[in-house]
Amino acid sequence: MTCRRRGYTLIEMVVVAVLSALVLGTAVAATALVVGMSGIVSREVDSYHDLARLATVFRNDAHQATKFTTANIEATVGSTADGTIISEMELSDGKSVRYRVNDGLIREVLQDGKLVARDGFDLDHGQRVLVKTYKENSQTVASLIVFGSRILDRGDEAASQQQTWEVYTVVGRDRVLLNR
Amino acid sequence: MRTLNHLMQADRTMRSIAYVPFADNSKRFELRSATTVMEIIISLFLLATLAVLSGQIIASVVQTRIEQRKRAWALQEAGNAMEKAFLVPWAELEPGQRREWPCSEAAKRILKDARTTILTEATDDNNVRRLVVRVEWSPGRGQTTQQIQLVAFRHHPQRSEKVAVATQMLGNDAGASGNAE
């Protein structure tokens, strides 16, 4: 009489369990890594996109500025509720523009003292912004400096202190070119 | 019974069947199916393929992130260099002239072997110069040098005055124009 039974030995079960745990663990770790990374990547992409947009807008404003003033202070994002005005400009078309730091960087366009447009640039809490002016080749140049982010620098405090995004621009460039 | 034994023998050879006699040493035996070498090879191949694919995806995400970051910094560097090029007196903008511009410290940290050059080119109009700012950097690991280029046109100041008068009459505004390549 022959008895046919299908089953697994204890060793086989242990090996299968270990291999399954290994494969599952690796898969979960890889998924978490990819998901986490894609989150960081999208935040970084958004951040650089905003910085590039800020550079374009700031340069356009500075090029048209007939009067440029700066508070010359480092304003920290998220430190004050109503915000700190870091720079104001009077444009050739009669409008004026001011840059305010509160939960991000806000650009406000005013005409006859009334707010006509507002634009926002997303910055991380703790990032610092500074606008400074100086003379170069007898021209006024302005630099908008955004100090690095701890999020982008993976928590590296030293790197976030040093690494800066600088927008260098000639104040009144278009006006100077037209009137020279 | 003999025929059955032959079949069992053949099957054992083919499929690595475990032959486990019962404790009472009787002629009865247990037939259990196990995994063939071919099945193990196929599963290993599939696992390896999955591992390679996952690795490639992760590497690609990391590489994209690094490249995107570098390009953003390079574009910013080119924009700043272009602004500086507009500070150079018109008389110094000789066509065919190539200037090396020092990179900022922040950009140097991100871009390996970064080099900024400004090329002045003549145009059909003698009162207009084409300024080309090129930022080059090494992506490392024997890859070809990466670069981005920013182009702008600078007008002669006297010519610009004429443009200003013309645009004032038209009620428009005019200035320098630029585009990224």
According to the model, what pLDDT value does residue A164 have? 80
User: From the list B61, B104, B155, which residue is nearest A34 (CB)?
Assistant: B61
pLDDT tens per residue, range B52-83:
988 888 888 788 878 888 888 899 999 999 99
Flag if B72 and A52 touch (Cβ within 8 Å): yes
A178 touching chain B per CB within 8 A: yes
pTM for the full model? 0.71
Q: Which of B75-84, B153-162, B172-181 has the lowest mean pLDDT?
A: B172-181
According to the model, what pLDDT value does residue A5 have? 63
User: From the list A4, A44, A170, which residue is nearest B86 (CB)?
Assistant: A170
Closest chain A residue to the Cα of B110, Cα to Cα: A163
**Token couple for B166:** 């013309």
Which residue matches tokens 């086989």?
A: A12
Which residue matches tokens 């890889």?
A: A30
Other CB atoms within 10 A of residue A150 CB: 16
pLDDT tens per residue, range A120-154:
998 888 888 999 998 888 889 999 998 876 555 55
A10 touching chain B per CB within 8 A: no
Whether the pLDDT of residue B119 is over 90: the answer is: yes
What is the torsional sign of CA B124, B126, B127, B128? positive
Whether the pLDDT of residue A37 is over 70: the answer is: yes
Cα separation, A117 vs A113, whole angstroms: 12
According to the model, what pLDDT value does residue B4 have? 57
Whether the pLDDT of residue B13 is over 70: the answer is: no
Decide the pairing of beta strands B29-32 and B98-101.
unpaired
According to the model, what pLDDT value does residue A127 have? 85
The full length of chain B comes to 181
Residue ranges of A 142-161 with Cβ closer than 8 A to chain B: none
A17 touching chain B per CB within 8 A: no
B9 touching chain A per CB within 8 A: no
Flag if A6 and B32 touch (Cβ within 8 Å): yes
Flag if A41 and B65 touch (Cβ within 8 Å): yes
Cα separation, B115 vs B117, whole angstroms: 7
Compute the C-alpha angle A53/A143/A114, nearest 5°: 65
Query: Looking at beta carbons, which residues of chain A come within 8 Å of B51?
Result: 26
A45 touching chain B per CB within 8 A: yes
Cα separation, A48 vs A140, whole angstroms: 27
ipTM value, please give it.
0.74
Max CA-CA distance within chain A? 112
Domain boundaries, given as residue ranges, for chain B: 2-34, 70-180
Flag if A141 and B175 touch (Cβ within 8 Å): no
According to the model, what pLDDT value does residue B180 have? 38
Flag if B175 and A170 touch (Cβ within 8 Å): no
Tell me the backbone φ, ψ of residue A123, rounded to 5 degrees: -125, 155
Whether the pLDDT of residue A68 is over 60: the answer is: yes
**Token couple for B141:** 């690991």
Residues 6+ apart with CB under 8 A from B12: B19
Whether the pLDDT of residue A21 is over 50: the answer is: yes
